[in-house]
Structure 1
Amino acid sequence: MSATPGQIPRDDSLPEDRFLDREESWLQFNQRVLELAEDQGLPLLERVRFLAIFATNLDEFFMVRVAGLLRRMATGLAVRSASGRQPREVLERTAVIAHDLMLRHAACFRDDVLPALSKQDIEILRWEELAETEREHLRRLFRERIYPVLTPLVVDSAHPFPYISGLSLNLAIVVRDPDTEARLFARVKVPEVLPRFMEASPNRFTPLEDVIAAHLTQLFSGMEILEHHAFRVTRNQDLEVDDDITEDLLQALERELLRRRFGPVVRLEVEESISPEVLDLLTDELGVEERQIYRVPGPLNLGGLNQIADLDRSELKYPPFVPSKAALPTELSVFTALRERDVVVHHPYDSFATTVQRMVEEAAADPRVLAIKQTLYRTSGDSPIVDALIDAAAAGKQVVVVVEIKARFDESANIEWARKLEQAGCHVVYGFVGLKTHCKLLLVVRQEPDGTLRRYCHIGTGNYHPKTARLYEDLGLLTADREIAEDVTELFNHLTGYSRQVSYRQLLVAPNTLRSGLVLRIEREIGHHRAGRPAHIRFKCNSLVDEVVIDALYRASQAGVPVDVWVRGICALRPGVPGLSENIRVRSVLGRFLEHSRVFAYECGGNPEVWFGSADLMHRNLDRRIEALVRVNDVGHRDELLRLLDKGVAADTSSWWLAGDGVWTRHHNDADSPALDIQTHLMRSRRWRTVDGG
């Protein structure tokens, strides 16, 4: 076995090729998103939204994963991946897969979704397909709204090639001066402040760049327009801030956010109609290699299809769903209810507003509440959670907020509302040196009528974000349990006061005890099986990458323990391999809601243990973040969670199944046996458990 200091060693006795490549696995996850867009059984505008999600997901993959790998290669820090591939081999392989997926994505849009939209009287047309009356309308719109915000930039001896910002859509233009016959290159940036698709007439749209291209003679008066082509650049946008040596992390992040715009290019997207001459110029000026060029049918930047998906056509969308408000009785205060029993909430099936948000708002208004402590990783700018914390501080309560301002792509927003909290008198702690604070914790300290102090807690799997709580599937425990409250108190002291607390009663906390706690329980499960007692391991997570945990699951499988893994995204484990993992099943569920909860369950000889919390099984979560899992002690809650896990991996549930060669296969509806959509099932039942937890 081998290990770095402080880590459990990997099991080198297992086969070297036991890990799937994580980058390829991520692309396969996005392929599953694309398969939803291709599914003609889904509501049409939901398919449009999945096309947009695929595009924005792929943008992030290049900005973070590909960019990070290129950066490590450039600095000489890249090493062979756990799958055994060299870094350049990973890049070449992912480039091939990503290009194939982008072509498939474009074909789905052009050949399937566009005709289907047309049948519903929604059309996305190119300029030449518009009626003359529509063109005239757009000409007026161009003069009034578009022309004033355009800036044509020509390249000549006095004007260098302009900087192309990341994810911006641009027109590459070749013009000719009729007096000198000189050919010049020019660039026009497509404004991001305008809609991606301009409405030519009711429910008939055309890409914004087409409108601009049709009016280039107004931008280059007196010049002859020879050709024009759309292109788009993706840059490295992962933050690089060394918070071990930075005295003011907030200011350092603000500076880095300004520098982020100038990261190196990792992808150049061009329409397949681009001329070789213009492409060569872009390639040279942007410094990209051939494998970084992605030629696809237009239009580019289909992430903008959210605009179409948002159209007011309810018959083309998922039917409305109203979350249940039954988790907490409205006739009792949150604190009275939690003194009687623990409550487990399952969003979005349970209302976030009437449970978690209500708990914060009641705490802010309750004169008996003395202190509120909360971690915030992501939330909305107009969050009622933030407003309640500000109200609590204004009422004289002690309010402590641990803000993780390095939450990827939300840094700027987090800085803004963190400053708002500070100005209101809240104690704001900006993360933890060297570690991201990713745990989801809320602690309320209340003086009861008899004078005693009682602590109330929420530990969850998702962010305190009211908007995403309607779209993300997450779990949360609301409790007044004394041991859990003591653990949460000590963890907050660790976060704000740098105490050296490493072990807890009812929590597993990364980076100290979470990985080792999970692996210890896997080993215990092996012991139960060998002793003839019931043994079964069930995990639900977003990603499974950590080699130490995977090796432990392999050993469990080799010992005969059945293992079920329900994963949304990346999975580096190879299931069903004889002699290694034939007792492991891996399933993935994608649908209307983003599966986001993390649950870890062990049969424990017939007395099951169930834990849930913020941590995925990735190196960053287990080694470089503060994460927390909480043990579910209520038998009713525990059993319902076990039933949920079993339902998610059942053979008759609609899902994707992973094979040992890394291929995912969708098991969905067929003529003989329609599969159960677990999300629809949970919505229809409105409650996945009874109110009393039984």
Structure 2
Amino acid sequence: MSTADDIETATLTALPSALPAETVTPDVDADLPEDRYLNRELSWLDFNSRVLALAEDQSMPILERTKFLAIFASNLDEFFMVRVAGLKRRDETGLSVRSADGRSPREQLQMIASRSRKIAGRHARVFLDSVVPALAAEDIHIVEWDELTQTQQSRLRQHFHNELFPVLTPLAVDPAHPFPYISGLSLNLAVTVRDRAEGSEHFARVKVPDNVNRFIRVDTIDDTDRDEDTRPAPTLFLPLENLIAANLSELFPGMEIVDHHLFRVTRNADFEVDEDRDEDLLKALERELARRRFGSPVRLEVGDDMTEHMLEMLLRELDVDPVDVVQIPGLLDLTALWQVYGLDRPALKERPFVPKTHPAFGERETPKSIFSTLRDGDVLVQHPYDSFSTSVQRFIEQAAADPQVLAIKQTLYRTSGDSPIVNALIDAAAAGKQVVALVELKARFDEQANIKWARKLEQAGVHVVYGLVGLKTHCKTCLVVRREGSTIRRYCHIGTGNYNPKTARLYEDVGLFTAAPEVGADLTDLFNTLTGYSRKQEYRNLLVAPAGIRKGIVERIEGEILAKANGDTRARVQVKANALVDEKVIDALYRASQAGVPVDVMVRGICALKPGIPGLSENIVVRSILGQFLEHSRILHFGAQDEYWIGSADMMHRNLDRRVEVMVQVRDQRLVADLQDIFDSAMDPRTRCWELRAEGRWEARPAAGEEVRDHQRRMAQRSRHHFESK
């Protein structure tokens, strides 16, 4: 339920390089209470707690619950690698910048340590006490070595010798062998061995291989005669570390195995590239990626059975503060549960959703010309309900193949393996078209993939640029220039999600297709800014960060306040975003509430605003919806001004100050009705959600016994009705 976008931090060149931009408090309204913000780090932990609540929901299919355990674990890893790492860096360097709620880095680290230990313990207990028994009830068993039969153990020992033993490298620690480097997020066995002759004890480390499956399918290795039993064999998963532990004597012949314990280190994965100093951004980024694996430790996870002596040794050798230790009952690193989720057991999962082709673009196998469609009017798509491959991907592929298309200009933030979008751009360049791809190399945790695609595009003749110095290019835009008779027409796509066909099946996003001349002119100006030396800041139908989005949003909120004062009953502000932490935007929403303007906020993750406080925010409702798909779109509605905007920007400092973001106004009344329907469904009192209370507590709604609706199912049903009515 999270992405790297939710975790990553940006840096300000005018401040010490270790300082994330989110910690810089802008000028805010001094007339409002000082304690009006929730802590963003704790708010993020609350978000991940809501993800965990989905794993606890016994009404959900068991493999879906297993999946949410894996998502929770992956989210928490990234949180420590980036957010906690940034706080530690500021604390260690003595930077006294406080969070918006007034806490120092050290105070925040203390709160995070306490809260994260509790939530990690809850995560482990949900797995052990609820999910494991529920899996077993479906004949899916995560077993330990001692639970296997002698025949199974014998076959697995043979498997160990054939497949694992050759790749394992036990590393001793003694005066001649220094403590080995422990890579981030790797699983490791800390082993104590005793010399049988001398009686002395020694420490050794065995890394659990990370290039093979974490779980061994015992039932596929064990082909024991089942005495003509025709029932399917139970699915048995043995953790890889259990097999290694059972065969440690093979790695240390002649030594007595005293004990062994599992541990895992999380390292600082944040880094910077000095774009003012480095002439070649691509090479500089590759250099920094090589350094990332050597970041300082920020968390040490250990089994709850680890001895005090072993733990003290690890703390000393790894230079880890005891406060950063998390003791876990049961298995470490539950991200591996994706392997269990991958079982071919459709009855134990949500029914797969099959996207449909938007009727404006034809049937799946009989496509219409997107260019002729857009000449008739704008089209709004909502993924995954509307197919990405037969809308966005088809748009770019048709442009690449059309001999009348002269140029394609596109931003690429995150792509997928063997991306059809990238392949279409390569085909367009091969056909002699002018193709420009702005590849954002610094998309966190996708840097290596983006370097690969940048080189591939360059080799194919695509003009590749890397954006503006000091800014990440996060906007989702594509401009197609086409000759039509004696005129040139521009076709545009502006969306809220990445040009990634894989995530488009998992993330909820919206996108606007248009041939409106003013939008085409705006995108032309924007690409000239991104690729050249233009410094344009004002646009006709776009808001563009870093100069224009915050300013545009606050001005429009003030417009709703003025409309309310003039008696306009339509005054309302509605926001759908992944995060809401920007103080100026929050303060503007507080002022709107004080003026009597209703404010609806649908936020998936972090929210620093406190709703429901008399005299401050009693007219604000904040909701969070999590489900089968990750709510990812950003939509704004200003009621009295009758304006709807969609785009790439969240209400965060990094998005509004340190990124190129684009929001576009949707004007067609047919399309704004669809956007309003999203808000109406999300804010319906019957919709399953969490509501934020003033003290920062998230409360599940509706209450037990009340009628419940599912927002995402409502959107899917709307989509089907939309198609059937065409």
Under TM normalisation by the shorter chain, which class is it?
A: over 0.9
CA contact (8 A) 1:599 1:612 kept: yes
1:651 equivalent among 685, 706, 709: 685
The Cα shift of 1:381 comes to 2.0
Q: Does 1:359 align with 2:395?
A: yes
Q: Is contact 1:640–1:689 with CA below 8 Å preserved after alignment? A: no
2: CA distance between counterparts of 1:690 and 1:470?
Answer: 18
Contact 2:190 2:204 in 1 (8 A): yes
Look up the match of 2:309.
277
> Aligned AA for 2:380?
V
In structure 1, what residue type is equivalent to 2:592? A
2:112 aligns with 94
How far off its partner does 1:78 sit? 4.2
Question: Do structure 1's residue 320 and structure 2's residue 359 form an aligned pair?
Answer: no
User: What are the superposed Cα offsets for residues 331-368 of structure 1, whole Å, 9 maximum, x if unpaired?
Assistant: 52010001101000000000000000000000000000
1:132-281 → structure 2 map (5 Å cutoff): 132-202=150-220, 203-281=235-313
Letter in 2 for 1:627: E
Deviation, 1:691, is: 9.1
Q: Distance in 2 between matches of 1:443 and 1:669?
A: 47
**What is the rounded CA distance, in whole Å, between the counterparts of 1:332 and 1:325 in structure 2?**
11
Cα separation, 1, equivalents of 2:288 and 2:491: 38
1:409-445: CA deviation from partner (whole Å, max 9, x where unpaired):
0000110111000000000001210000000000000
Q: CA deviation at 1:690?
A: 6.3
Q: Deviations over 1:523-553 (max 9, x none)?
A: 0100000000120000000000000000000
Aligned residue for 1:108?
126
Report the alpha carbon displacement of residue 692 of structure 1 after superposing the two structures with TM: 9.7
What CA distance in whole angstroms lies between the structure 1 residues aligned with 2:721 and 2:148?
50
Task: Output the amino acid matched with 1:486.
Answer: A
* Structure 1: segments with no counterpart, 5+ residues: none
CA distance in 2, matches of 1:294, 1:498: 50
2:620 equivalent to 1:588 = no
Q: Larger deviation: 134-143 or 622-631?
A: 134-143
Distance 2:25 2:475 in 1: 21
Which residue is 1:75 aligned to?
93
1:516 corresponds to 2:548: no
Letter in 1 for 2:202: L
**Alpha carbons 1:403, 1:429 under 8 Å: kept:** yes
Residues 584-633 of structure 1: CA deviation (Å, up to 9, x unaligned): 000000000000000011002xx510001000000000000000000001
Task: Describe the superposition over 1:136-195 as per-residue Cα deviations: whole angstroms up to 9, x where unpaired.
Answer: 221111111111111100000000000000000000000011122121100000000111
- Check the 8 A contact 2:189/2:206 in 1, yes or no: yes
For residues 94 and 292 of structure 2, what CA distance do their matches in structure 1 show?
22
Tell me the amino acid that sits aligned with residue 492 of structure 1: F
Q: How far apart, CA to CA, are the structure 1 residues paired with 2:721 and 2:526?
A: 31
SS in 2 for 1:175: strand
1:683 partnered with 2:716: yes
Q: 1:286 aligns with which of 318, 336, 339?
A: 318
Please name the residue that 2:566 is paired with: 531
Change (3 A) 1:196 1:7: closer
RMSD, matched Cα:
1.5
Mapping for residues 234-633 of structure 1, pairs under 5 Å: 234-330=266-362, 332-448=368-484, 450-533=485-568, 534-604=570-640, 607-633=641-667
Match of 2:694 in 1: 660
Aligned partners of 2:623, 2:406: CA distance in 1, in Å? 45
Find the aligned partners of 2:322 and 2:601 in 1 and give their Cα distance.
Answer: 38
Give, in whole Å, the separation in 2 of the partners of 1:104 and 1:302.
13
Say which is worse superposed, 638-647 or 349-358, in terms of deviation: 638-647
Structure 2 CA distance for aligned equivalents of residues 209 and 338 of structure 1: 57
CA contact (8 A) 1:350 1:687 kept: no
Q: Give the whole-Å Cα distance in 1 for the aligned partners of 2:724 and 2:139.
A: 45
Shift of 1:254: 0.3
Which amino acid letter does the alignment assign opposite residue 299 of structure 2?
Answer: R
Q: Distance in 1 between matches of 2:195 and 2:73?
A: 38
Contact 2:135 2:141 in 1 (8 A): yes
Q: CA–CA distance in 1 between the matches of 2:704 and 2:180?
A: 54
- 1:322 Cα shift? 0.9
Whether contact under 8 Å (2:470, 2:658) holds in the other structure is yes
Deviation of 1:306 after TM superposition, in Å, equals 0.2
TM-score (norm 2): 0.93
Asked whether the equivalents of residues 69 and 78 of structure 1 are also in contact (C-alpha less than 8 Å), the reply is: no
SS at match of 2:492: strand
Within 1, Cα distance between the matches of 2:724 and 2:668? 13
1:18 offset after TM fit, Å?
Answer: 0.2
1:38 equivalent in structure 2:
56
Give the deviation of 1:688 after TM superposition: 7.2
What is the CA–CA distance in structure 1 between the aligned matches of 2:138 and 2:324, rounded to whole Å? 37
- Name the stretch that deviates more: 416-425 or 131-140: 131-140
Contact 1:217–1:225, Cα closer than 8 Å, also in 2:
yes
Letter in 1 for 2:558: E
Distance change (3 Å), C-alpha of 1:139 and 1:669:
farther
In the alignment, the residues of structure 2 paired with residue 378 and residue 611 of structure 1 have an alpha-carbon distance, to the nearest angstrom, of 23
User: Is the Cα contact below 8 Å between 1:405 and 1:431 reproduced in 2?
Assistant: no
For residues 10-57 of structure 1, what are the alpha-carbon distances to aligned partners after superposition, in whole Å with 9 as ceiling and x for unaligned? 111111100000000000000000000000011110100000000000
Shift in Å at residue 225 of structure 1? 0.4
Provide the secondary structure at the position in 1 that maps to 2:288.
helix
Rounded to whole Å, the distance in 2 between the matches of 1:397 and 1:431 is 21
State the distance in 2 between where 1:263 and 1:691 align: 54
Q: Which amino acid aligns with 2:27?
A: P
Q: Report % sequence identity.
A: 59
1:28 & 1:225 partners in 2: Cα distance?
A: 42
**1:400 positional shift:** 0.1
SS at match of 1:412: helix
- What code does the residue aligned with 2:393 have? Q
Indicate the SS of the match to 2:293: helix
Residue type of the alignment partner of 1:391? D
CA distance in 2 between partners of 1:130 and 1:649 (Å): 51
SS of the equivalent of 2:374 reads helix
CA distance in 2, matches of 1:147, 1:253: 36
Q: CA deviation at 1:130?
A: 1.7
Q: Provide closer, same or farther for how the CA distance between residues 649 and 369 of structure 1 changes in structure 2, counting only shifts above 3 A.
A: same
- Opposite residue 93 of structure 1, the aligned amino acid is M
Contact 1:327/1:343 (<8 A) preserved: no
Residue in structure 1 matched with residue 78 of structure 2 by the alignment: 60
Deviates more, 1:570-579 or 1:125-134: 125-134
Query: Helix, strand or coil: the match of 1:532?
Result: coil
Name the aligned partner's letter for residue 677 of structure 1.
D
Please, what TM-score do these two structures have when normalized by structure 1? 0.97
SS at match of 1:615: coil
In structure 1, C-alpha distance between the alignment counterparts of 2:409 and 2:361, rounded to whole Å: 24
Q: Does 2:653 correspond to 1:635? A: no
Shift of 1:686: 3.0
Q: Which moved more, 1:674-683 or 1:145-154?
A: 674-683
1:235-257 Cα offsets, whole Å, 9 max, x none, are: 00012212122211111110111
CA distance in 2, matches of 1:65, 1:242: 20
1:687: Cα distance to partner?
4.1
SS across alignment from 1:187: strand
Partner amino acid, structure 1, of 2:546: P
Letter in 1 for 2:607: C
Contact 2:26–2:583 (CA<8 Å) still a contact in 1? no
Deviation string for 1:479-507 (max 9, x for gaps)? 10000010011000000002010000100
